[in-house]
Amino acid sequence: MEGLTGIARAQLRILKNNITGIQNQPLLKTSFISAFIVLFWVGALALMYKGLWFFNKFPIVGPALVDEAIYLFFAALFIMLALSSIIICYATYYNSLEVDYLFSKPVHDTVIFMYRFFQSVLFSSWAFLFLGVPFLLAYGLVKHVPLWFYLSIPCYFVPFILLPAAFASITVLLFVKFISHRRNKHILIAACAMVVVVLYEYYMMYIRPELFAKSEIDYFLNDLLHHLSIFKYPLFPGYWMAKSIIHSGVNDIGNGLFYFVAFSLTTVFFLQINWFLAEKTFRSGWLSSRGGRAKKSFPTHKGIVNKIPNLFSFLPRFTTAMVVKDIKVFLRDPGQWFQFLIYFAILSIYILNLRNLPSSLNSASYDTYWKFIITFLNLSATALVLAGLAVRFLFPVMSLEGNKIWILGLAPIKFRHLLFEKFITSFVGILFISEFLMISTNIMLRTKLSLMLISCGLAALISLGLVGLSIGLGSIYPNFKEDNSAKIVSGFGGTLNFIIALFYVIFTITSFAIPLFSYEVHHSITERTFYHMTAICCIMNLIATMVIGIIPMVLGYKQLENMEF
Tens-digit pLDDT string for the chain (565 aa) = 556 777 778 878 877 777 776 667 667 667 777 777 788 788 878 888 888 888 788 777 677 778 878 888 888 788 878 877 887 888 788 877 788 888 888 888 888 888 889 888 887 777 677 778 888 888 888 888 888 888 888 888 888 889 988 998 998 888 887 765 555 556 666 766 677 677 667 666 655 555 555 444 454 455 555 555 666 777 778 888 888 888 888 888 888 889 889 889 999 999 999 999 988 888 888 887 766 544 455 565 566 666 666 666 666 777 777 777 777 777 776 666 666 766 676 666 666 666 555 544 544 444 566 677 777 777 887 888 888 888 888 888 888 777 777 777 676 677 777 888 788 888 888 888 888 888 887 787 777 787 788 888 888 899 899 999 988 888 888 887 776 676 777 777 787 888 888 888 888 888 888 888 787 777 788 888 888 888 888 888 889 888 888 888 888 888 877 776 5
Does the residue 369 lie in any domain?
Answer: yes
Q: Helix count (H) and strand count (E) of the chain? A: 26, 0
Helix (H, G, I), strand (E, B) or coil at 356: coil
Query: What is the secondary structure of 101-128 as a DSSP string?
Result: HHHTSS--HHHHHHHHHHHHHHHHTHHI
In this structure, the answer to whether residues 263 and 358 fall within a common structural domain is no
**Residue 8 within any structural domain of the chain:** no
Any alpha helices (H) in 203-236, and if so which ranges?
208-213, 216-218, 225-227
C-alpha to C-alpha distance for 377 and 356, rounded to whole angstroms: 16
Say whether both 282 and 331 belong to one domain: no
Which letter does DSSP use for residue 306 in this model?
G
Domain shared by 70 and 102, yes or no: yes
pTM of the model: 0.67
Do residue 339 and residue 463 come from a single domain?
Answer: yes
Claim to verify: residue 320 and residue 453 sit in the same structural domain = yes
User: Does any domain span residue 52?
Assistant: no
Neighbours of 105 (CB within 10 A): 11
The reply to whether 276 and 341 lie within a common domain is no
Determine, yes or no, domain membership for 558. yes
The verdict on 121 and 231 lying in the same domain is yes
Q: Under a CB-based contact definition with an 8 Å cutoff, are residues 160 and 133 in contact?
A: no
d(CA 40, CA 387): 15
Domain annotation covers residue 16: no
Say if residue 399 is in the same domain as residue 474: yes
- 259/320 same-domain check: no
Q: How far apart are CA 127 and CA 84, in angstroms?
A: 10
Range(s) of the domain holding residue 433: 315-565
Half-sphere exposure of 46 (CA within 13 A, CB side): 6
Task: Specify the number of domains making up the chain.
Answer: 2
| Domain match, 167 and 237 both | yes
Are 278 and 341 part of one and the same domain? no
- Does some domain include residue 232? yes
236: in domain: yes
In a domain, 131, yes or no: yes
Residues 476 and 349 in one domain: yes
